[in-house]
Amino acid sequence: MTRPDLIYAAPGASPVTATGFDPDAPIPGYYRMRLRSGGVFVAIRIWFGQPRDPLTGDLMDRSLRWQATANGNPIDLDRVWPQCAADPIDEREARHLVSLQRWGRETGHAALADPTRKLNPLSTPLQF
Amino acid sequence: MTRIAAAVANDTVENPRAVIGSNRAPIDEQVVIDLAEALVAEGLTKRIDELLASFSRAPEITSPEIAGRYAEIIKQMVAAGKAVEAEREKLNRPLLTAQRALKGRADAITAPLKEAELTARARLKKFDDHIAELERQREAEAQRIAEQERQRLQAIADQEAQKERDRLQAIENERAAAEAREATVVEVQAETVEVAVEVTTNAGPIAQGDFGAKVSRTTTWKHEIISVRQLPDSILKHAKVIEAIDKVIAAQVRSGTREMKGVRIFAETGIAIR
């Protein structure tokens, strides 16, 4: 009679190495995601630090905590993490997405200005 | 009152189009006008012009960013095309519905007529089958009579041959006796008699109506494939056969088959815009 080498009840690390990330432990950085299906991409920034005053933007003397912004606007961390973890981006791309929203606001493209609206390919800006 | 009615009647008689709605454009022209107006109203004409102008300014793809812009413009073009198609469908739907209603009404009227026609055809076929059976019996009878005649004539020919053989044998016997030798046996073959069967076949119409309608027998050749493997190459390699085989194989390849005798299955990459 043969028995498997692996003893499931034995203490120690699992032989299977897990890949990916822990959904309960956010990773600081920049990410890209949509706030709704068919909406424009927004840049998500996640970091651990002091919170800012939502009105003045000043750092407040509060305990450190996990925070997130979508295109620079504060957003609930649970709203974006871990969904955004699938698509990490660099800071340059994040700045581009923020400027895209600003441009949409200035030129009157509602779906670009408001990421919670669905994009209509018949009215999205021309590319060239 | 009477005078007005008479005037209307006269107008219509002189010009059959002088009725209510006669000043409308023909339907084939009207739908085209309606489509053009709808596209302008929805801003699609302008959008398509803008897309074409934008694409004419597009540079060669040298970076992933430009490739991304290309993907966006393709998506915009597809969306514009679909929007035009939707407008066309909106105008086409009532026409299709009208077409179907018209056909349904006409079919409802002609259905009993077709049923009666099929019954009439079936009865004619039955009559033709009866005629064909009579012809077959007549042909069999003619063949039997011809065979009887052939046997009678053959018997006469055999008798004449026997008489001739006896006559020649007697002469041979006399000669052999005079020459003191053994007489040879004379052979005379009877003539083989053949009698042609005279069958009168009716090549003309089976029946004819008083106004010219004719019933004639037609012959069409049908087929049934007994063994595909024995078919000639001219059939197996025909373009239409290859096309049908292609469809069957494509379905199997789509469903996961990756190896097949006589077929090379390979992967081809393309692009998809979402």
Write down the ipTM of this complex.
0.73
In a domain, B81, yes or no: yes
Averaged pLDDT of chain B? 89
- A interface test, pick of B48, B73, B82, B273 with most A CB neighbours within 10 Å: B73
Question: Considering the domain boundaries, does residue B231 fall inside one?
Answer: no
Which among A24, A6, A26, A25 is positioned nearest to A16, based on CA atoms?
A6
Identify the closest residue of chain A to B42 by CA–CA distance.
Answer: A122
My answer on whether B119 and B132 are in the same domain is no
**CB-nearest partner of A124 from B57, B70, B76:** B76
Residue % of chain B over a pLDDT of 90:
64
Per the CB < 8 Å rule, is A124 touching B72? yes
Question: Which whole number is the average pLDDT over A52-57?
Answer: 86
Q: Does position B199 have pLDDT exceeding 80, yes or no?
A: no
**Helical H runs in B179-273?**
233-236, 239-254
Band (pLDDT 50/70/90 cuts) for residue A10 is low
Q: Do A121 and B51 touch (CB under 8 A)?
A: no
Cα–Cα distance for residue pair A41/A93, rounded to 1 Å:
11
Mutate to test the interface with A, among B55, B66, B72 (most CBs of A within 10 A): B72
Q: Which residue of A has its CA nearest to B69?
A: A127
Tell me, yes or no, whether B49 lies in a domain.
Answer: yes
Q: What is the mean pLDDT of chain A?
A: 88
Mean pLDDT to the nearest integer, B187-192: 77
| B274: contact with A, CB 8 A cutoff | no
Strand A41-49 versus strand A29-34 pairing type: antiparallel
At residue B2, does pLDDT exceed 90?
A: no
pLDDT of residue B200: 65
Question: Of the candidates B124, B149, B172, which is a domain's last residue?
Answer: B124
Task: Report how far residue B252's alpha carbon sits from residue B248's, in angstroms, rounded to the nearest whole number.
Answer: 6
Using an 8 Å CB-CB cutoff, list chain B residues near A127.
Answer: 54, 58, 69-70, 72-73, 76
For residue B98, the cross-strand partners are none
- Chain centroid to CA B75: 44
In this predicted structure, the answer to whether residue A18 has a pLDDT above a threshold of 70 is: no
Q: What is the 3-state secondary structure (H, E, C) of B151-164?
A: HHHHHHHHHHHHHH
| B272 found inside a domain | no
Region B143-162: mean pLDDT is: 91
Using CB atoms within 10 A of its CB, is residue A100 exposed (0-12), middle (13-18) or buried (19+)?
A: buried
The domain tally of chain A equals: 1
Q: Last residue of a domain, which of B167, B200, B233?
A: B200
Distance CA B226, CA B101 (A): 45
Q: What is the pLDDT of residue B264?
A: 95
Task: Determine the residue among B39, B50, B76, B273 to mutate to test chain A binding: the one whose Cβ has the most chain A Cβ atoms within 10 Å.
Answer: B76
Q: Does this model's pTM top 0.80?
A: no
Lowest mean pLDDT among A52-56, A82-86, A96-100, B128-132: A52-56
**Interatomic CA distance for residues B77 and B72, integer angstroms:** 9
Where are the alpha helices (H) located in chain B, listed in sequence order?
Answer: 2-14, 27-41, 44-56, 64-178, 233-236, 239-254
| Within-domain flag for A125 | no
In a domain, A13, yes or no: no
Q: Which domain holds residue B160?
A: 127-200
Q: Which domain holds residue A67?
A: 29-113
Residue A21 in domain: no
The pLDDT of residue A108 is above 70? yes
Total count of domains within chain B: 2
How many beta-carbon pairs below 8 A join chains A and B? 34
